[in-house]
Amino acid sequence: MDIVIEILKYEDLDKYKQLIDNCFGSSQDLKTYKNSYTLDKNYEIIVAKLEGKIIGSITMQKIDLFTFEFQLFPTFLLYHIQ
């Protein structure tokens, strides 16, 4: 049983929605996810899968900072269900 780490694929949106529903009680309907999900380097969702089921995710969002001293830093949102 190996855990697979990969960028969320369009065909796995239903599994991702199940994870979010388990974390928060409910979420947007699946049609909304499917209509709005695109692969984008400014916003990435990375998932952990075990035996085909998504068991965790990391959302990274690029945020441009308005100073010359700092570079771009991603923001991480971690979800884990046991």
Residues of the chain with pLDDT under 50: 70, 82
pTM score: 0.69
What is the predicted pLDDT for the residue at 46?
92
> What is the spatial distance between Cα 4 and Cα 2, in angstroms, rounded to a whole number?
6
CA angle 5, 23, 4 (to 5 degrees): 10
What is the predicted pLDDT for the residue at 26?
84
Domains in the chain: ranges and CATH: 3-80 (3.40.630.30)
What is the predicted pLDDT for the residue at 67?
52
> What is the spatial distance between Cα 1 and Cα 69, in angstroms, rounded to a whole number?
44
Long-range contacts of 38-43 (CB under 8 A, 24+ apart): 39/7
